[in-house]
Structure 1
Amino acid sequence: MSLFHTLAVYGREARTQILSTWRTPQFLIPSLALPLLFYGVIGLGLSHGHEEAAHAMLANYVIFASIAPAMFGFGAAVAAEREAKLIELKQIAPLPAGAYLLGRLAAALALVGLAVGLLGVMAYFGGVVMTPWRWAATLSLGLVSAVLFALIGLNLGLRLGSQGATAFANLLFLAFCLFGGLWIPLDVMPSWIGHIAEVTPSYHLGQLSLMLSGLKPMADVQGHLSVLVAIAVAAVIGSRIAWRRQAA
């Protein structure tokens, strides 16, 4: 198969997965509505007149907006398709290895990109002020974050049934938001929660987002990145092992 035909197959698979996501309102609407509703009510409503609070919540909510589409798109959705033997069909079909997974990732990124973009629009008209490069860096980090959460979700989807994957995805979603400090600042919570936060990807991504948005000085960036890289590598290895077992 030529490179052109290979890319065409990848493109068609990505288009199929994106269309499938858009045609699933029970997944699409909550994924978009939750971060927008939370930020509109809490970030802009309750912090009206306090631009810094709305600014800080935007930095956290771009990470929050990336978790659900990635975790559930790769967790519950992959588990359901695996139970229906659709993944086995994909694996034996004349389809390049990884086209299905990249298609799923494309669908998740499209949804996260829309959610993050709408958050940015709300924040801009809500009075949040940043330089253009900080806007771009903050919103882009939210989009890139989806890749890591998708890898975590993929591990769930390839190992658990649809109900188990949904339950664990919900549990991790809540844990990442709460213990990562995305909903409530860690400095007003018990100290033991801060220790848990240090092993969650959402905490480190949130800290980087606050730095990129200009609310915190650029400090210990290497430490945050090291933890994120370690989590990503572990998730890739785990996904690869589970995918091979699925194909066996």
Structure 2
Amino acid sequence: MHTLAIYGREARAQILSTVRTPQFVIPSVALPLLFYGVMGLGLSKGREEVAHFMLANYVIFAAIAPAMFGFGAAVAAEREAKMIELKQIAPLPAGGYLVGRLAAALALIAASVLLLGGLAWFGGVRMDAWRWAATLGLGLVSTIPFAMIGLNIGLRMGSQGATALANLVFLAFSLFGGLWIPLSAMPEWFGDIAQATPSYHLGRLSQMLSGMQPLANVEQHVTILVAMTLAAVFGAWIAWRRRAA
């Protein structure tokens, strides 16, 4: 079978496996919608600029949980159950499992981001078409750094420890990244911690793409995000090699 076909089948299998796990899918999709409905639309009291501002944050928030738990807790559980080793007995390329996992996360996050966009539209948010595409697209792309960080957790810890740490990282990225509450309303030291989180830099870029903030320090944000992602990829590669040794 052609290598691309094998990747495609593994991606399809992982997507189907995820869809058939409602206890994971429903909270992953519903939580961002619920939070945005309450905090972005409910508390905005009809003010379009508040709902607009919060949408830019919540498309990033929507990517964190599926990436953290799909790559953190789930990979750790399958590693403990020797499922990864079982897959590698089959004629599956070395990266097939991870590509499948990433495809499943992207599918779930795409659904969540599109539903957020629809909810924002019905809530009165209006943007140019290219801003809608760029903002929602950035939410989808943000899967990659979060997934690589989650993979480091999943490859290094047992299932219980990975679940606990994934929860902690999920909350930290959401809070210190300024996705729930604007950092301007928080103590100054929150801003110092925020600089070390990918969610902060992604949130800033999302605000700019959505038109809520002027373009500023774009290269700095992108450079930091690329560096964080590459560091996470390198760490995951080392953990994968140690697991296979």
TM-score by length of 1: 0.97
Tell me what 2:59 maps to: 62
Tell me what 1:85 maps to: 82
Tell me what 2:244 maps to: 247
Deviation at 1:34, TM superposition (A): 0.3
The one-letter code matched in structure 1 to 2:18 is T
Tell me what 1:135 maps to: 132
Aligned to 2:142, what secondary structure does the other structure show?
helix
Matched, 1:120 2:105: no
Give CA deviations for 1:72-131 in whole Å, capped at 9, x if unaligned.
000000000000011112233321110000000000000000000000000011100100
Uncovered stretches (5+) of structure 1, i.e. residues with no partner: none
TM-score by length of 2: 0.99
Aligned to 2:135, what secondary structure does the other structure show?
helix
The one-letter code matched in structure 1 to 2:62 is A
Ranges of 4+ aligned residues in structure 1 off by more than 4 Å: none
Tell me what 1:151 maps to: 148
Matched, 1:199 2:189: no
Deviation at 1:147, TM superposition (A): 1.0
Tell me what 1:76 maps to: 73
Tell me what 2:14 maps to: 17
Aligned to 2:211, what secondary structure does the other structure show?
coil
Give CA deviations for 1:164-202 in whole Å, capped at 9, x if unaligned.
110010000000000000000000100001000001000
What is the alpha-carbon root mean square deviation over aligned residues?
Answer: 0.8
Deviation at 1:246, TM superposition (A): 1.1
Q: Distance in 2 between matches of 1:183 and 1:201?
A: 15
Partners of 1:91 and 1:247 within 8 A in 2: no
Q: Distance in 1 between matches of 2:94 and 2:87?
A: 9
The one-letter code matched in structure 1 to 2:10 is E
Tell me what 1:215 maps to: 212
Aligned to 1:75, what secondary structure does the other structure show?
helix
State, as a whole percentage, how many aligned pairs show the same letter: 76
Q: Distance in 2 between matches of 1:79 and 1:49?
A: 43
The one-letter code matched in structure 2 to 1:183 is W
Q: Distance in 2 between matches of 1:157 and 1:173?
A: 14
Deviation at 1:41, TM superposition (A): 1.2
Q: Distance in 1 between matches of 2:37 and 2:185?
A: 22
Tell me what 1:34 maps to: 31
Q: Distance in 1 between matches of 2:38 and 2:175?
A: 18
Tell me what 2:181 maps to: 184
Aligned to 2:227, what secondary structure does the other structure show?
helix
Q: Distance in 2 between matches of 1:159 and 1:93?
A: 24
Q: Distance in 2 between matches of 1:181 and 1:46?
A: 17
The one-letter code matched in structure 1 to 2:98 is L
Tell me what 1:51 maps to: 48
